[in-house]
Amino acid sequence: MIRLAVRCGPAAADRVLAELLRLAPGGVEEDGGPGWVEYAIYGSPGELPELGTITAVSTGEPIEVTSEEIPDDWADRWRDFHEPIWIADRVLIRPSWESVEREAVVDVVIDPGQAFGTGAHPTTRMCVELLLELADAGEASGRLVDLGTGSGVLAIVAAKLGWSPVVAVDHEVAAVEAVAANAAANAVEVEPRRVNLREQAPPSARTVVANLTAPLLLEVSARLQGPPRALICSGLLEREVGEVVSAFERAGLRPVDRLAQGDWAAIGFRS
Ligand code: SAH
């Protein structure tokens, strides 16, 4: 097992993180101090990305890339950086080994295993915020699909907020397995479904949440079988918003809400 660490200044951090997440959907470890931030990913030598891809995202800022051989303890390392996350003071997403210090309206336990999604990523948090807005508008009912579900974190939050049935889609076997285990741990019903969104149409639903990259969102927009009543998407960068909005507009949706965190954006659409 190799630990590949990328250290940079805060100005380059969002771009480095975006690039690493694209290359390593299994998760990125984050550490930082005054004036620097370090992201690290783990993998066998053959799985890890070419270093050139990472250094290329720099715009003149020094980026330091180091790689070191580490013991094969991926699972334990997840624990080191999977911290409890509060969203909008209502939703708590935590690993099972962290206890609750104060009661959350929605308490979600997630053990991501090899799948992406501890709740910590800004795009996930923004999707949860937009789900909460729909719930507050009395729209948390009926069928919801979570496209690119990873650990199932958004599907489980949705099920706890009242949507039913909830279908959780991913192309990775690890994700499908993680969703089933996490849904059981949270005592909610979620139907995991293995679908490759590059090749197949997403299952239709009244509400769709899609935390994917911009290229995948464009593919999804072209394959929607009729516009959902509400669609939340994230995983795109600010500069990709225009293209993604136009694509969903062509699919019969209009943007009604927009959030941003760092370089990341999230958009809420209605039909
Ligand atoms: N919804 C989770 C995970 C988002 S990461 C969260 O917010 O934390 C994006 C997910 O999309 C990953 O789990 C990845 O496996 C999945 N994915 C990537 N390409 C896909 C494809 N072609 N078809 C289906 N799922 C895909």
Ligand 1 atom nearest residue 118's Cα: 8
Q: What is the pLDDT of residue 72?
A: 57
Paired tokens of 183: 């849904």
10-residue mean pLDDT profile of the chain (271 residues): values are 83 84 74 86 68 59 78 51 83 85 88 76 93 97 97 96 97 92 96 95 97 93 96 93 97 97 92 97
Q: Which residue among 28, 153, 179, 216 has the greatest number of ligand 1 atoms within 8 angstroms of its CB, and so is best to mutate?
A: 216
How many other CB atoms sit within 10 Å of the CB of residue 253? 24
Q: How far is the CA of 209 from the centre of ligand 1 (A)?
A: 11
Ligand 1 atom nearest residue 175's Cα: 13
With a CB cutoff of 8 Å and minimum separation 6, the contacts of 79 are 95, 97
Ligand 1 atom nearest residue 196's Cα: 23
Q: What is the pLDDT of residue 78?
A: 45
Q: What is the pLDDT of residue 76?
A: 52
Q: What is the pLDDT of residue 64?
A: 84
Q: How far is the CA of 196 from the centre of ligand 1 (A)?
A: 10
**DSSP letter string, 102-129:** S--SEEEE---TTSS--S-SHHHHHHHH
Alpha helices in the chain (DSSP H): 10-23, 51-55, 74-81, 122-136, 153-161, 173-185, 214-223, 241-250
Residue nearest (by alpha carbon) to ligand 1 atom 13: 150
Q: What is the pLDDT of residue 55?
A: 62
Q: What is the pLDDT of residue 25?
A: 62
Closest to 154 measured CA to CA, from 142, 169, 172:
169
Q: Considering the entire predicted model, what is its pTM?
A: 0.75
Q: How far is the CA of 49 from the centre of ligand 1 (A)?
A: 18
Sign of the CA dihedral running 21, 23, 27, 31: negative
Ligand 1 pocket at CB < 6 A: 25, 115-117, 121, 124, 127, 148-150, 153-154, 170-172, 175, 195-198, 211-212, 216
Ligand 1 atom nearest residue 121's Cα: 8
Let me know the angle formed at the C-alpha of 129 by 246 and 163, rounded to the nearest 5 degrees: 90
Let me know the angle formed at the C-alpha of 155 by 270 and 187, rounded to the nearest 5 degrees: 140
